[in-house]
Chains A and B, each alone.
Chain A
Amino acid sequence: MKLTCKELYDFMGDYLDGNLPDDVMCVMKTHLSRCPCCEHYLENYRMAIKLGKTCCKQFAEEQVPDSVPEPLIQAILEARKKK
Protein backbone atom coordinates (compact mmCIF):
# COMPACT_ATOMS: atom_id res chain seq x y z
CA MET A 1 0.00 0.00 0.00
CA LYS A 2 1.24 3.44 -0.89
CA LEU A 3 -0.38 6.85 -0.62
CA THR A 4 -0.09 9.77 -2.96
CA CYS A 5 0.16 13.25 -1.47
CA LYS A 6 -3.42 13.91 -2.51
CA GLU A 7 -4.66 10.81 -0.71
CA LEU A 8 -2.72 11.76 2.39
CA TYR A 9 -4.38 15.18 2.41
CA ASP A 10 -7.79 13.54 2.13
CA PHE A 11 -7.09 11.43 5.21
CA MET A 12 -5.62 14.26 7.26
CA GLY A 13 -8.65 14.94 9.43
CA ASP A 14 -9.08 11.27 10.33
CA TYR A 15 -5.35 10.99 10.88
CA LEU A 16 -5.43 13.75 13.50
CA ASP A 17 -8.51 12.22 15.12
CA GLY A 18 -6.79 8.84 15.27
CA ASN A 19 -9.64 7.32 13.29
CA LEU A 20 -7.63 5.37 10.75
CA PRO A 21 -6.84 1.65 10.72
CA ASP A 22 -3.35 0.79 11.90
CA ASP A 23 -2.08 -0.13 8.46
CA VAL A 24 -3.22 3.21 7.01
CA MET A 25 -1.74 5.12 9.96
CA CYS A 26 1.54 3.32 9.34
CA VAL A 27 1.56 4.23 5.66
CA MET A 28 0.67 7.83 6.54
CA LYS A 29 3.59 8.09 8.93
CA THR A 30 5.97 6.56 6.40
CA HIS A 31 4.85 9.05 3.77
CA LEU A 32 5.19 11.98 6.19
CA SER A 33 8.69 10.94 7.17
CA ARG A 34 9.79 11.04 3.54
CA CYS A 35 7.82 13.98 2.17
CA PRO A 36 8.71 17.40 3.64
CA CYS A 37 5.93 19.07 1.72
CA CYS A 38 3.23 16.91 3.31
CA GLU A 39 4.87 17.06 6.72
CA HIS A 40 4.90 20.85 6.58
CA TYR A 41 1.32 21.01 5.36
CA LEU A 42 0.15 18.76 8.19
CA GLU A 43 1.97 20.84 10.79
CA ASN A 44 0.58 24.08 9.36
CA TYR A 45 -2.92 22.56 9.18
CA ARG A 46 -2.67 21.39 12.78
CA MET A 47 -1.46 24.78 13.92
CA ALA A 48 -4.29 26.53 12.09
CA ILE A 49 -6.80 24.44 14.05
CA LYS A 50 -5.08 25.18 17.34
CA LEU A 51 -4.79 28.89 16.54
CA GLY A 52 -8.48 29.11 15.70
CA LYS A 53 -9.48 27.56 18.99
CA THR A 54 -7.01 29.51 21.09
CA CYS A 55 -7.64 32.93 19.51
CA CYS A 56 -11.41 32.55 19.71
CA LYS A 57 -11.73 30.94 23.14
CA GLN A 58 -8.76 31.59 25.35
CA PHE A 59 -8.62 35.22 24.27
CA ALA A 60 -12.36 35.71 24.02
CA GLU A 61 -12.39 38.48 26.63
CA GLU A 62 -10.31 40.85 24.51
CA GLN A 63 -13.08 40.86 21.92
CA VAL A 64 -15.85 41.88 24.30
CA PRO A 65 -16.87 45.47 23.53
CA ASP A 66 -16.75 48.07 26.30
CA SER A 67 -20.42 48.72 25.74
CA VAL A 68 -23.29 47.18 23.86
CA PRO A 69 -25.66 49.40 21.86
CA GLU A 70 -28.21 50.77 24.31
CA PRO A 71 -31.09 50.22 21.84
CA LEU A 72 -30.28 46.49 21.93
CA ILE A 73 -30.37 46.41 25.72
CA GLN A 74 -33.68 48.25 25.78
CA ALA A 75 -35.15 46.08 23.01
CA ILE A 76 -34.34 42.94 24.99
CA LEU A 77 -35.81 44.30 28.22
CA GLU A 78 -38.93 45.60 26.48
CA ALA A 79 -39.46 42.29 24.66
CA ARG A 80 -39.35 40.46 27.98
CA LYS A 81 -42.14 42.58 29.40
CA LYS A 82 -44.32 41.89 26.38
CA LYS A 83 -44.20 38.13 26.91
Chain B
Amino acid sequence: MGQELPTSSWKTEEELIEALRRQEDDAYEFLVRSYSGRLLVVAKRFLGQDQDAQDAVQDAFLSAFKAVGDFEGNSKLSTWLHRIVVNACLMKLRSRKRKREKTVEELLPHFVADGHRDQVEPSWAVTFDTAVQSRETREIVRQRIEELPESYRTVLLLRDIEELSTEETAARLNLSVSAVKTRLHRARQALKTLLDPHMNGGY
Protein backbone atom coordinates (compact mmCIF):
# COMPACT_ATOMS: atom_id res chain seq x y z
CA MET B 1 0.00 0.00 0.00
CA GLY B 2 1.56 3.22 -1.14
CA GLN B 3 1.61 6.51 0.67
CA GLU B 4 -1.50 8.47 -0.31
CA LEU B 5 -0.74 11.80 -1.94
CA PRO B 6 -3.06 14.75 -1.41
CA THR B 7 -4.97 16.18 -4.39
CA SER B 8 -2.69 15.07 -7.17
CA SER B 9 -2.76 13.13 -10.41
CA TRP B 10 -0.89 10.31 -8.70
CA LYS B 11 -2.72 8.15 -6.22
CA THR B 12 0.37 6.82 -4.49
CA GLU B 13 3.97 7.76 -3.89
CA GLU B 14 4.99 4.91 -6.17
CA GLU B 15 3.05 6.43 -9.04
CA LEU B 16 4.64 9.82 -8.43
CA ILE B 17 8.11 8.27 -8.36
CA GLU B 18 7.44 6.50 -11.65
CA ALA B 19 6.34 9.80 -13.19
CA LEU B 20 9.52 11.46 -11.91
CA ARG B 21 11.60 8.70 -13.47
CA ARG B 22 9.79 9.36 -16.74
CA GLN B 23 10.92 13.00 -16.38
CA GLU B 24 7.38 14.35 -16.34
CA ASP B 25 7.44 18.10 -15.72
CA ASP B 26 4.22 18.24 -13.74
CA ALA B 27 5.49 15.50 -11.41
CA TYR B 28 8.58 17.56 -10.63
CA GLU B 29 6.50 20.65 -9.98
CA PHE B 30 4.23 18.68 -7.69
CA LEU B 31 7.22 17.33 -5.77
CA VAL B 32 8.71 20.78 -5.29
CA ARG B 33 5.45 22.39 -4.24
CA SER B 34 4.58 19.54 -1.88
CA TYR B 35 7.87 19.27 -0.03
CA SER B 36 9.75 22.57 -0.27
CA GLY B 37 8.04 24.03 2.81
CA ARG B 38 9.15 21.19 5.03
CA LEU B 39 12.66 21.20 3.61
CA LEU B 40 12.91 24.95 4.14
CA VAL B 41 12.10 24.49 7.84
CA VAL B 42 14.97 22.02 8.20
CA ALA B 43 17.35 24.20 6.19
CA LYS B 44 16.60 27.31 8.25
CA ARG B 45 17.29 25.34 11.42
CA PHE B 46 20.80 24.51 10.24
CA LEU B 47 21.65 27.63 8.27
CA GLY B 48 19.62 30.44 9.78
CA GLN B 49 20.01 32.89 6.95
CA ASP B 50 17.05 32.78 4.63
CA GLN B 51 19.03 32.94 1.39
CA ASP B 52 21.41 30.17 2.47
CA ALA B 53 18.43 28.05 3.50
CA GLN B 54 16.77 28.60 0.12
CA ASP B 55 20.02 27.75 -1.66
CA ALA B 56 20.27 24.49 0.29
CA VAL B 57 16.68 23.58 -0.57
CA GLN B 58 17.37 24.22 -4.23
CA ASP B 59 20.57 22.15 -4.07
CA ALA B 60 18.66 19.37 -2.32
CA PHE B 61 15.99 19.17 -5.00
CA LEU B 62 18.57 19.17 -7.78
CA SER B 63 20.38 16.31 -6.03
CA ALA B 64 17.08 14.48 -5.62
CA PHE B 65 16.19 14.99 -9.28
CA LYS B 66 19.48 13.39 -10.31
CA ALA B 67 19.11 10.53 -7.85
CA VAL B 68 15.42 9.73 -8.27
CA GLY B 69 16.27 6.88 -10.62
CA ASP B 70 18.15 5.23 -7.77
CA PHE B 71 15.43 5.77 -5.18
CA GLU B 72 14.33 2.27 -4.30
CA GLY B 73 11.22 3.26 -2.40
CA ASN B 74 12.28 1.51 0.78
CA SER B 75 11.79 4.72 2.69
CA LYS B 76 9.17 7.41 2.43
CA LEU B 77 9.83 10.09 -0.14
CA SER B 78 9.72 12.69 2.64
CA THR B 79 12.35 10.82 4.65
CA TRP B 80 14.59 10.51 1.61
CA LEU B 81 14.27 14.21 0.81
CA HIS B 82 14.90 15.09 4.44
CA ARG B 83 18.21 13.24 4.41
CA ILE B 84 19.17 14.96 1.18
CA VAL B 85 18.45 18.44 2.51
CA VAL B 86 20.44 17.77 5.69
CA ASN B 87 23.38 16.81 3.48
CA ALA B 88 22.88 19.96 1.41
CA CYS B 89 22.93 22.05 4.60
CA LEU B 90 26.19 20.47 5.73
CA MET B 91 27.72 21.17 2.32
CA LYS B 92 26.56 24.78 2.53
CA LEU B 93 27.99 25.14 6.04
CA ARG B 94 31.32 23.83 4.82
CA SER B 95 31.46 26.16 1.86
CA ARG B 96 30.34 29.43 3.35
CA LYS B 97 32.84 31.80 4.83
CA ARG B 98 33.51 30.99 8.43
CA LYS B 99 32.72 33.93 10.64
CA ARG B 100 34.42 34.41 13.94
CA GLU B 101 32.10 32.42 16.13
CA LYS B 102 30.99 33.56 19.53
CA THR B 103 31.81 31.32 22.43
CA VAL B 104 29.36 29.44 24.63
CA GLU B 105 31.60 29.90 27.66
CA GLU B 106 29.22 32.30 29.37
CA LEU B 107 26.40 29.78 28.95
CA LEU B 108 28.29 26.94 30.64
CA PRO B 109 28.07 26.22 34.37
CA HIS B 110 30.86 27.68 36.46
CA PHE B 111 32.56 26.27 39.53
CA VAL B 112 34.48 27.58 42.50
CA ALA B 113 38.03 26.40 43.20
CA ASP B 114 37.05 23.25 45.08
CA GLY B 115 34.84 22.00 42.26
CA HIS B 116 31.47 23.03 43.64
CA ARG B 117 28.96 25.04 41.63
CA ASP B 118 29.15 28.78 42.03
CA GLN B 119 25.37 29.08 42.36
CA VAL B 120 22.32 27.06 43.32
CA GLU B 121 20.51 25.17 40.56
CA PRO B 122 16.74 24.99 41.02
CA SER B 123 14.71 22.25 39.42
CA TRP B 124 12.76 23.75 36.53
CA ALA B 125 9.31 24.94 37.57
CA VAL B 126 7.69 23.97 34.27
CA THR B 127 7.24 20.24 33.68
CA PHE B 128 8.00 18.58 30.38
CA ASP B 129 4.36 17.76 29.66
CA THR B 130 3.26 21.32 30.36
CA ALA B 131 6.08 22.70 28.23
CA VAL B 132 5.39 20.66 25.11
CA GLN B 133 1.70 21.47 25.22
CA SER B 134 2.48 25.17 24.97
CA ARG B 135 2.91 26.56 21.46
CA GLU B 136 4.82 29.49 22.94
CA THR B 137 7.27 27.21 24.74
CA ARG B 138 7.82 25.05 21.68
CA GLU B 139 8.65 28.16 19.70
CA ILE B 140 11.02 29.39 22.41
CA VAL B 141 12.86 26.06 22.44
CA ARG B 142 13.35 26.20 18.68
CA GLN B 143 14.48 29.83 18.86
CA ARG B 144 17.02 29.06 21.57
CA ILE B 145 18.48 26.26 19.46
CA GLU B 146 18.81 28.71 16.57
CA GLU B 147 20.68 31.09 18.88
CA LEU B 148 23.44 28.58 19.57
CA PRO B 149 26.73 29.30 17.78
CA GLU B 150 26.89 27.45 14.49
CA SER B 151 29.35 24.70 15.33
CA TYR B 152 27.49 23.82 18.52
CA ARG B 153 24.09 24.09 16.88
CA THR B 154 25.14 21.75 14.08
CA VAL B 155 26.35 19.02 16.42
CA LEU B 156 23.22 19.31 18.56
CA LEU B 157 20.96 19.13 15.51
CA LEU B 158 22.73 16.09 14.08
CA ARG B 159 22.94 14.16 17.35
CA ASP B 160 19.83 15.11 19.30
CA ILE B 161 17.39 16.06 16.54
CA GLU B 162 18.50 14.01 13.55
CA GLU B 163 19.64 11.25 15.92
CA LEU B 164 22.81 10.37 14.07
CA SER B 165 25.33 8.37 16.07
CA THR B 166 28.40 10.05 17.48
CA GLU B 167 30.56 8.25 14.92
CA GLU B 168 28.37 9.25 12.01
CA THR B 169 28.23 12.85 13.19
CA ALA B 170 32.01 12.90 13.48
CA ALA B 171 32.37 11.57 9.94
CA ARG B 172 29.93 14.10 8.50
CA LEU B 173 31.61 17.03 10.22
CA ASN B 174 35.18 15.80 9.86
CA LEU B 175 35.66 15.90 13.63
CA SER B 176 37.02 13.38 16.09
CA VAL B 177 34.53 11.41 18.18
CA SER B 178 35.92 13.12 21.25
CA ALA B 179 35.38 16.57 19.73
CA VAL B 180 31.77 15.70 18.88
CA LYS B 181 31.10 14.54 22.44
CA THR B 182 32.63 17.66 23.96
CA ARG B 183 30.83 20.00 21.61
CA LEU B 184 27.50 18.21 22.08
CA HIS B 185 27.78 18.37 25.85
CA ARG B 186 28.53 22.09 25.74
CA ALA B 187 25.70 22.68 23.27
CA ARG B 188 23.26 20.92 25.57
CA GLN B 189 24.52 22.85 28.59
CA ALA B 190 24.21 26.10 26.67
CA LEU B 191 20.68 25.24 25.54
CA LYS B 192 19.69 24.45 29.12
CA THR B 193 21.02 27.81 30.25
CA LEU B 194 19.17 29.63 27.47
CA LEU B 195 15.95 27.88 28.51
CA ASP B 196 16.38 28.61 32.23
CA PRO B 197 14.48 31.92 32.30
CA HIS B 198 11.40 30.50 30.61
CA MET B 199 11.43 27.13 32.35
CA ASN B 200 11.89 28.74 35.75
CA GLY B 201 8.75 30.70 35.13
CA GLY B 202 10.46 34.04 34.82
CA TYR B 203 8.22 35.15 31.97
A55:B117 contact, CB within 8 angstroms:
no
Interface status of A1 (Cβ within 8 A of chain B): no
With A55-B138, A57-B161 already in contact, the answer to whether A13 and B37 are too (CB < 8 A) is no
A7:B115 contact, CB within 8 angstroms:
yes
A68:B37 contact, CB within 8 angstroms:
yes
B36:A55 contact, CB within 8 angstroms:
no
Interface size counted on chain A using CB atoms at 8 A: 48
A7, A14, A51, A75: the one within 8 Å of B131 (CB): A51
B189:A45 contact, CB within 8 angstroms:
yes
Set of chain B residues within 8 Å of A12, measured between Cβ atoms: 185
With A13-B181, A37-B121, A68-B36 already in contact, the answer to whether A48 and B109 are too (CB < 8 A) is no
Most buried by B among A5, A57, A59: A5
B114:A68 contact, CB within 8 angstroms:
no
Contact string against B for A residues 24-64, beta-carbon threshold 8 Å, 1 for contact and 0 otherwise: 00000000000011111101110111111111111110111
B62:A76 contact, CB within 8 angstroms:
yes
B62:A48 contact, CB within 8 angstroms:
no
With A6-B115, A44-B121, A51-B128 already in contact, the answer to whether A65 and B40 are too (CB < 8 A) is yes
Set of chain B residues within 8 Å of A68, measured between Cβ atoms: 33, 36-37, 40
Q: Cα distance A56–B139 when bound, in Å?
A: 9
A51:B185 contact, CB within 8 angstroms:
no
A5:B138 contact, CB within 8 angstroms:
no
A56:B145 contact, CB within 8 angstroms:
yes
Interface residue ranges, B against A (CB under 8 Å): 25, 28-29, 32-33, 36-38, 40-41, 45, 54, 57-58, 61-62, 65-66, 109, 111, 114-117, 120-124, 128, 131-132, 135, 137-139, 141-142, 145, 156-157, 160-161, 163, 181, 184-185, 188-189, 191-192, 195-196, 199
